Amino acid sequence: MKEYYDSRLEPTATHDISQRYKKILEEQFCPKKGFPELKYSVARKAISDFKKVSSNYLDVLDLQLTYVEYGVKRTLDYGDIDERFYNSMESMFEKTLKDMDEYGVLKTFQKRCFNIHTQTQWMGWGFGDAIESLYKDFFEEDI
């Protein structure tokens, strides 16, 4: 409840709150110590919980994109994962792109999306192909 009211009464608190949720994602995909546990339910719940406390759609989009970025980093750091992992990344990337388009803020996040596209080009399970296709669907004129 405190986060809910803080995000509405103190706009600068939203950044601090989002950082706490980013830490949850980081711990799931790229912990400072040890091997990632990859609990998708924990990572997705962090996003769901943040949506409940944040009134800023840009912060929500940022967190959703961070989920994908950490997933890509996890693959780059530890190697190929499994189909379930890539399906989770693809679905979050697609949802985020659709949300960005709905809010008219694709350009705001284009560089980060392009970095995801570039970093995944050679990844397995058709992941790179799926990310490329999604990127082209939303930024087609810029490729």
What is the pLDDT at residue 9? 47
Q: How many CB atoms lie within 10 A of CB 121?
A: 11
Q: State the 10-residue block means of pLDDT for the chain, 143 residues long.
A: 51 79 95 88 96 91 98 93 93 98 97 98 92 96 54
pLDDT for position 125: 84
pLDDT at 11: 56
pLDDT score of 143: 46
- The answer to whether residues 28 and 43 touch, using CB atoms and an 8 Å cutoff, is yes
Counted domains in the chain? 1
CA–CA distance, 37 with 7 (Å, rounded to integer): 30
Q: Which long-range contacts (CB under 8 A, 24 or more apart) does 114-122 make?
A: 114/139, 115/69, 116/65, 116/68, 116/69, 116/72, 119/72, 119/76, 120/72, 120/75
Domain that residue 62 falls in: 2-142
